[in-house]
Amino acid sequence: MNERLFSLCTPCPAGFTFCREFRAHDFSRAPFALYAPSSETARDFLGHHLPRLSGVILVPGNTLYSEELAPLVLQIVVSPAMFPYLADFAAHQLLQIDRRVSVEDIRSSLVLENERLELDSQQASEDFSRFRASLLHEIKERRSAERQLAESEELLRLIMSSTVEAIYGIDTEGHCTFVNESCLKLLGYSHIGEVLGRNMHDLIHHHTADGQPIPVDECRIFKAFREGAGATVTDEFFFRNDGNGLPVEYSSYPIRKDGTIVGAVVTWRDITERRRAEEVLRETQELFTLFMKYTPVYTFIKRIEGEKSRVIQISDNYIDMVGRPAEELRGRTMDEMFPEDFARKITDDDLAAVSEGKIIQLDEDFNGRHYTTIKFPIIREGKGDLIAGFTIDITERTRAEEEHRVMEKQLLHAQKLESLGVLAGGIAHDFNNILTAIIGNAELALMRIGRGESATNNLHRIKQAASRAAELARQMLAYSGKGKYIVENIDLSRLLEEMRHMMEVPISKKMLLRLNLASSLPMVEADATQMCQIVMNLVINASEAICDGSGEITITTGSGECDRDYLKNILPGEDLPAGLYVYLEVADSGCGMDTETMAKLFDPFFTTKFTGRGLGMAAVQGIVRGHKGVIEVHSELGKGSSFKILLPAIPMGIHR
Pairing of strands 56-59, 32-35: parallel
DSSP state of 518: P
Per-residue pLDDT tens over the stretch 436-474? 777 777 777 777 676 555 666 666 677 666 666 666 666
Neighbour-count burial for 129-168, b at 16+ CB within 10 Å, e otherwise: eebeeeeeeeeeeeeeeeeeeeeeeeeeeeebeeeeebbb
* Residue 413 pLDDT: 63
* Residue 67 pLDDT: 44
Closest Cα to residue 270, out of 239, 244, 236, 246? Answer: 246
DSSP state of 47: G
* Residue 80 pLDDT: 44
CB 309 within 8 A of CB 301: no
CB 587 within 8 A of CB 553: yes
| HEC profile of 150-205 | HHHHHHHHHHHHHCCCEEEEEECCCEEEEECHHHHHHHCCCCHHHCCCCEHHHHHC
Domains 290-393 and 485-648 share a fold: no
Looking at domain 163-270, its CATH superfamily turns out to be PAS domain (3.30.450.20)
* Residue 651 pLDDT: 80
* Residue 189 pLDDT: 92
Across all residues in the chain, what is the average pLDDT? 75
More confident residue, 94 or 226: 226
CB 487 within 8 A of CB 525: yes
Which 3 state secondary structure label does DSSP give 258? coil
Residue 63 has pLDDT above 90, yes or no: no
More confident residue, 34 or 149: 149
The mean-pLDDT minimum among 185-199, 357-371, 589-603 falls in: 589-603
Radius of gyration (C-alpha) of the chain in whole angstroms: 64
Distances (CA, A) of 498 to 369, 493, 517, 528: 49, 9, 12, 11
Could you tell me the sign of the dihedral formed by the alpha carbons of 605, 608, 610, 616, in that order? negative
* Residue 567 pLDDT: 84
* Residue 581 pLDDT: 94
CB 473 within 8 A of CB 435: yes
Which 3 state secondary structure label does DSSP give 290? helix
Residue 59 has pLDDT above 90, yes or no: no
Q: Where are the beta strands (DSSP E) in 176-293?
A: 176-179, 231-239, 245-257, 260-270
Cα separation, 33 vs 36, in Å, equals 10
Closest Cα to residue 253, out of 243, 245, 263, 244? Answer: 263
Quick one: pLDDT band at residue 91, thresholds 50, 70, 90?
A: very low
The mean-pLDDT minimum among 31-45, 471-485, 510-524 falls in: 31-45
Quick one: pLDDT band at residue 281, thresholds 50, 70, 90?
A: very high
Among left, alpha and beta (phi > 0; psi -120 to 50; other), residue 393 is beta
Neighbour-count burial for 545-562, b at 16+ CB within 10 Å, e otherwise: bbeeeebebbbbbbbeeb
Cα separation, 153 vs 562, in Å, equals 101
Could you tell me the sign of the dihedral formed by the alpha carbons of 241, 247, 251, 254, in that order? positive
Q: Where are the beta strands (DSSP E) in 563-629?
A: 579-588
Q: Give the best-scoring range by mean pLDDT among 151-155, 281-285, 393-397, 550-554.
A: 281-285
Distances (CA, A) of 99 to 94, 103, 283: 8, 9, 110
Pairing of strands 245-257, 231-239: antiparallel
CB 223 within 8 A of CB 240: no
Q: Where does 357-454 have alpha helices with state H?
A: 395-448
* Residue 13 pLDDT: 43
Residue 416 has pLDDT above 70, yes or no: no
CB atoms within 10 A of CB 224: 23
Section 112-125 average pLDDT: 69
Among left, alpha and beta (phi > 0; psi -120 to 50; other), residue 504 is alpha
DSSP state of 67: H
Cα separation, 209 vs 227, in Å, equals 26
Residue 255 identity: I
Residue 28 has pLDDT above 50, yes or no: no
Could you tell me the sign of the dihedral formed by the alpha carbons of 87, 90, 92, 98, in that order? negative
Q: Which CATH architecture has domain 290-393?
A: 2-Layer Sandwich (3.30)
Cα separation, 474 vs 425, in Å, equals 9
More confident residue, 653 or 269: 269
Q: What is the CATH number of domain 485-648?
A: 3.30.565.10
Section 130-140 average pLDDT: 75
Instruction: Parse the chain into domains and list their residue ranges.
Output: 15-138, 163-270, 290-393, 400-467, 485-648
Q: Where are the beta strands (DSSP E) in 213-333?
A: 231-239, 245-257, 260-270, 298-305, 308-314
Cα separation, 517 vs 536, in Å, equals 16
DSSP 440-472: HHHHHHHHHS-TT-THHHHHHHHHHHHHHHHHH
Quick one: pLDDT band at residue 27, thresholds 50, 70, 90?
A: very low
Which 3 state secondary structure label does DSSP give 214? coil
Cα separation, 255 vs 228, in Å, equals 9
Q: What is the pTM of this model?
A: 0.43
DSSP 101-164: S-HHHHHHHHHHHHHHHHHHHHHHHHHHHHHHHHHHHHHHHHHHHHHHHHHHHHHHHHHHHH-S
Q: Give the best-scoring range by mean pLDDT among 127-141, 147-161, 459-473, 482-496.
A: 482-496
Quick one: pLDDT band at residue 612, thresholds 50, 70, 90?
A: very low
Section 379-405 average pLDDT: 83
More confident residue, 410 or 577: 577
Section 254-282 average pLDDT: 89
Asked if residue 11 has a cis previous peptide bond (ω within 30° of 0), the answer is yes
Per-residue pLDDT tens over the stretch 517-563? 998 899 999 888 788 888 888 988 888 888 776 789 999 999 999 98
CB atoms within 10 A of CB 413: 18
Counting residues of the chain whose pLDDT is more than 70, the rounded percentage is: 66
CB 272 within 8 A of CB 243: no
Quick one: pLDDT band at residue 421, thresholds 50, 70, 90?
A: low
Residue 241 identity: N
